[in-house]
Structure 1
Amino acid sequence: MCFYDLDRTVTRFPTWSWFLARTILRYCPWRIVLVPFVMLVAIGRAVGWVSRDRIKEVMHGVLIGRDTRQAVIDRWAGSFADHVVRNGIRPGALLQIAADRAAGHRIVLATAAHRFYAEPIARRLGISDVIATEARRRGNRITHRLAGANVYGEAKLAAVSAWLSGQGFAREDLLVRFYSDHASDAPCLAFADRGIAVNGNRSMRALAGQHDWTSLDWNLTTAVVA
């Protein structure tokens, strides 16, 4: 079982800010005037006044709308997924996904990104299983509120464990790999039989060395593990 983080692991850039910026510019450019307000909230996040979950809701509500028809979100997300797969996937990630698939491993994308655009990206990469942050829905509309926790840090490990249980897997019967670029995924990397630190910065590489995790650079087309 191979779990892949998305942002900066499979992709070159963080996808949430990328999705918001592209969506504003292409579909609702008038919302650019609201960006300074979001920047103020981001400062609040930096000093600890605003939670990670709450700033995600604020960014969503202010920059793309508090309540949007799912068909509209799907159109925006599909266009974004096409753009990401054309321009923003690390070459080593594509090779590793292909190698894991050829070896018979089940591949799961496990990400804090919103499902409404993470799932289209995954589909284009041939990945059918996705664990992601969920937006609260109301009928055929998607709201800016989160349905549950932002799937980040310990919450991602909880989501992975819940997904395994829901699929009928017992952890002791599995060999698990987890690929990630960021120290926030340390709980998931430690949970895995083999943690693989990908594209990590200096502190992440140091953490990998402390825990005997493999380190790879997926900007290189030779950085694949068997």
Structure 2
Amino acid sequence: MSDLAIYDMDRTVTRRATYTPFLLHCAVRRAPWRLIFLPLVLLSMLAYVAKLIGRAKLKELNHQLLIGHWIHPRELKPLVDSFADKQVTANIRPGARAAIARDKAQGRRVVMATASYRLYAAAIAERLGFDDVIGTGSVIGLDERVRARIEGENCYADAKLRMIADWVEKSGLLGRHGHVRFYSDHASDAPAFEWSDEPVAVNPHARLARLAAERGWRVEDWG
């Protein structure tokens, strides 16, 4: 029997979101000329706000604009490593570090479940001592190159809970895991909050703060 502690990443473990900063980090270091596409990135964000495109398409478009149609892992790895080092140095909430240490000391299996791309979230998670990572996947071609396309679902809202459930089954924990503690800052994670045994709203935005008050979920300030 293994108790679990499952963490959202952006604005839960980290102070700030990581997806657009990751794309900019890659563009600046690999192909600065791609910054000419920033107006198109802004347009894609406006299209998302106007509900003309979904989150998954937004991610794919911006990935294509700032990194390209494809990139080989040997080119991507130093970008991922330098970005992860930067995030761990300057973008981690102190309370997240304390919670991870506490959960590990309690013998919990510590898991990150994030809508961010797993290709860089895994590097951040490894540096913080996570045991497993559930995140948005990337299509890998037969040539091993990472495409600007999402494999499967964007790990967000209901899809995040489905991907957690899939991970539980594939990890051999179905019907065998114990108590589940779930941390997030955002109401989009309501399905996972409701599924968990111990929901914890971390530095919640207004909608999640209201939901936590209605449901009686614990609220924590991680600084």
Task: Give the TM interval when normalised to the shorter protein.
Answer: over 0.9
User: Relative to 1, partners in 2 of residues 1:37 and 1:162: Cα closer, same or farther, differing over 3 Å?
Assistant: same
2:196 pairs with 185, 192, 195, which one?
192
Moved over 3 A (4+): none
The answer to whether the 8 A contact 2:157-2:190 is kept is yes
- Range with greater deviation from structure 2 (144-153 or 197-206): 197-206
Of 215, 221, 225, the match for 2:219: 215
**1:91 maps to 2:94:** yes
2:32 to 3, 6, 29: 29
Instruction: Tell me the secondary structure at the aligned position of residue 151 of structure 1.
Output: coil
With the length of structure 2 as denominator, give the TM-score of the two structures: 0.95
Q: 1:133 aligns with which of 128, 131, 136?
A: 136
State TM-score, norm by structure 1. 0.94
1:168 to 168, 172, 182: 172
Contact 2:109 2:131 in 1 (8 A): no
Match of 2:45 in 1: 42
Decide whether the 8 Å contact of 1:73 with 1:116 is kept in 2. Answer: no
Q: Distance in 1 between matches of 2:206 and 2:72?
A: 42
Aligned residues: 219
Render the CA deviation track for 1:99-144: whole Å, top value 9, x for unaligned. 0000101000000110110010011011130000000001321000
Task: State which of 183, 186, 192 in structure 2 corresponds to 1:182.
Answer: 186
**Aligned 1:10-89 pairs, distance under 5 A:** 10-89=13-92
Counterpart AA for 1:10: V
- Structure 2: which 5+ residue stretches go unaligned? none
Alpha-carbon offset, residue 21 of structure 1: 1.9
In the other structure, the counterpart of 1:7 is 10
